[in-house]
Amino acid sequence: QVQLVESGGGLVEPGGSLRLSCAASGVTFSDYYMSWIRQAPGKGLEWVSYISSSAGTIYYADSVKGRFTISRDTAKNSLYLQMNSLRAEDTAVYYCARGRAGGYFDLWGRGTLVTVSS
Amino acid sequence: EIVLTQSPGTLSLSPGERATLSCRASQSVSSSNLAWYQQIPGQAPRLLISGASSRATGIPDRFSGSGSGTDFTLTISRLEPEDFAVYYCQQYGNSPIFTFGPGTKVDIK
């Protein structure tokens, strides 16, 4: 079954860190670029970060630049998001998504909730 | 930065009716880089349309996309009960390389 499964979310205090993981199954992970996309409670979708299939190109939204780091491990079919210096406004469900040529996302995980609060 | 605006914010319709959702870009967007997603509460978004008008695998033909330049439209020809959801448009371009519109909620009248 083709799927993406996120993990690693939870409650963290402002200034803290978390590492999210996204495990891919049933798909040749290395063929695709990947992104993290988040959704604050009751809000819309916000793209967070992009990593190319080779990991040679990486982009971040301005809101997370310098604090978040995206990476991937092809051998483990996994995508990661290291989140440091977390703020209350980072509270959201974080989705990993598979990207396709043309800039759209055709496969999404179910998301993992990150709550930043003291 | 390209900003996407969706209208209306909420669309109240009955099953069987036609829904027309608008997505307007602040600058011209390549049609090949415009997509639409459906999100049912509590679920992840689902790709409906890519390249402005190409239905994704398994999407019923009551969903159609059109438009070019700065104006794009998602049409649901006859609403089914499972279509009541939030719909987002999304573009791929320059920094930030991916942007989403704020969404249109289609709810039951």
Task: Tell me the Ramachandran region of residue A53: left when phi exceeds 0, alpha when psi lies from -120 to 50, beta otherwise.
Answer: alpha
- Whether chain A has a CB inside 8 Å of the CB on B93: the answer is yes
Q: What is the distance between the alpha carbons of residues A101 and A99, in angstroms, rounded to a whole number?
A: 7
Chain A residues touching B33 at Cβ < 8 A: 102-103
The verdict on a CB contact (< 8 Å) between A45 and B47 is no
pLDDT of residue B95: 63
pLDDT tens digit string along A33-48? 999 999 999 999 999 9
pLDDT top residue among B94 and A110: A110
pLDDT of residue A51: 96
pLDDT in tens, chain B (109 residues): 899 999 999 999 999 999 999 999 999 999 889 999 999 999 999 999 999 999 999 999 999 999 999 999 999 999 999 999 999 999 998 766 899 999 999 999 9
Q: What is the distance between the alpha carbons of residues B54 and A95, in angstroms, rounded to a whole number?
A: 24
> Which DSSP state fits A17?
-
Q: Which of residues 62-81 of B touch A (CB under 8 A)?
A: none
Q: Residue B11: beta bridge partners?
A: B106
| Residue B95 amino acid letter | S
Task: Compare all CA atoms of chain A with the CA of B59 and give the residue at the minimum distance.
Answer: A106
Q: How many other C-beta atoms are found inside a 10 Å radius of the C-beta of residue B38? A: 21
pLDDT of residue B96: 63
For residue A22, pLDDT over 70 is answered with yes
Q: What is the distance between the alpha carbons of residues B46 and B42, in angstroms, rounded to a whole number?
A: 12
Segment A60-88 shows an average pLDDT of: 97
Q: Which two tokens stand for residue B45?
A: 């978004």
The three-state secondary structure class of A62 is coil
Q: Which two tokens stand for residue B23?
A: 């997505």
